[in-house]
Amino acid sequence: MFLIYGTYWWSFLFRGVLATLFGLAAIFLPGITLEVMAILLGLFLVIDGLISFLVSMHGRGRGLKGGPLLLEGLIGIAVGIFTFVWPSITVPVVVLIIGFWAMVTGVLEIIAAVTLRHEIEGEWLLGFCGIISILFSVALFVNPGVGAVAIIRLIGVYALLFGVAMIVLGLRLRKHKVIINI
């Protein structure tokens, strides 16, 4: 399967900006209720998923394939819609939803980073995003019962790290129009 990452550098940048803004909101507004956080998370996941999905579909329209990006987009959209449909779910369910999304996203990002390693410089940033996503999901799965404010701050730190790494990756990819094999 092929995907042109360099052509869609802006999608990484935009996803990074969204994640960074979401992370800052979670860190600096920890008093936000979990229901509001679930709605903000759902909004982020749907937008992030739509970007991934649309970039993948646009690549398909040009004869290219991007399975991991397509899968990441569909999962993000589904999880985001789930949080809209059921925003008043309990803390452990929100934690498990976030943990599931972070685990799947992390694995797919590591797969893409390994594929990119011979094509461009800076692919490690995508791998770094994948690693922090997986570590974040493990932290949530190990201790899902921590307080709501602690969860919100943990989500914020994760989103901030993820967002900054995606912004840097997007800016680095801007210089490349690389066709990679995924």
Q: Which of 167, 65, 163, 56 is nearest to 122 (CA)?
A: 167
Element (H, E) at 3: strand 2-4
pLDDT digits (tens, 9 = 90+) for 55-111: 878 776 666 556 777 888 888 898 888 877 776 665 567 677 778 888 988 898 888
CB-based burial of residue 28 (10 Å sphere; 0-12 exposed, 13-18 middle, 19+ buried)?
Answer: exposed
pTM of the model: 0.62
CB 177 within 8 A of CB 9: no
Q: What is the DSSP letter of 176?
A: -
Mean pLDDT of the chain: 77
Percent of residues, the chain, with pLDDT higher than 70: 74
pLDDT of residue 180: 46
pLDDT of residue 176: 66
Q: Where are the domains of the chain?
A: 2-181
pLDDT greater than 50 at residue 119:
yes
Q: What is the DSSP letter of 86?
A: S
Q: How far, CA to CA in Å, does 143 sit from each of 47, 74, 137, 148, 173?
A: 28, 27, 10, 12, 36
